[in-house]
Amino acid sequence: MRRAPARAFARGLPPVLPRGARILVLGSFPGAASLAARQYYAHPRNHFWPIVGALVGEPLAALPYADRLERIARHGIALWDTIVACERLGSSDASIRRETRAEVVRVRRSSPDIVLVAFNGGTAARAAPRWRDAGYRTIALPSTSPAYTRPFDEKLAAWRTLERWLAAGGPASDRSAALEG
């Protein structure tokens, strides 16, 4: 009898919660490539950086990771995952077990200007009720993962719903000037 492969316990990446962020993008849990690189959306075929780059008008995918984070911070975007630790076999969300969830209160304390939580994919979106109950507006978006085989243009069209939030002023620290002017 063959034994099933062992699930590995893994901790996710630390949150990227820049001061003044208005939008929090939550994935489910980093894939193997992201965990190995210690970078959000590190898989070369993940559409996250090209999509967000298109939304903010910056070539994010072509930049070093630290510059990507700095640029999204300028546009009021924060990153984290709905699961901060779990057992998982490979990169499949379907194999996640024994999960520890992200703490809503941590986000509220460290990033009080966040008003919208955008979920990157269906697994992440299952956490939406918890975030809505905490007073956030939420939106479920198609996964940018290469495992979700929809065409790039179709994913981008759905993600364009974030543009009105981005147009509302970027980081909260700049919002009052942008809306008053």
**Catalytic residue numbers?**
46
Strand partners, 25: 79, 118
Distance between alpha carbon 162 and the CA centroid of its chain, in Å?
13
Contact 40, 60 (CB under 8 A): no
* Nearest CA among 29, 40, 48, 8 for reference residue 146: 48
Neighbours of 88 (CB within 10 A): 25
Phi and psi at 118, nearest 5°, equal -105, 125
Inter-residue contact 83 to 102 (CB < 8 Å): yes
Cα separation, 130 vs 126, whole angstroms: 9
β-pairing, 77-81 with 23-27? Answer: parallel
User: Nearest-5° angle of CA 61, CA 63, CA 68?
Assistant: 85
CA distance 62 to 56: 14
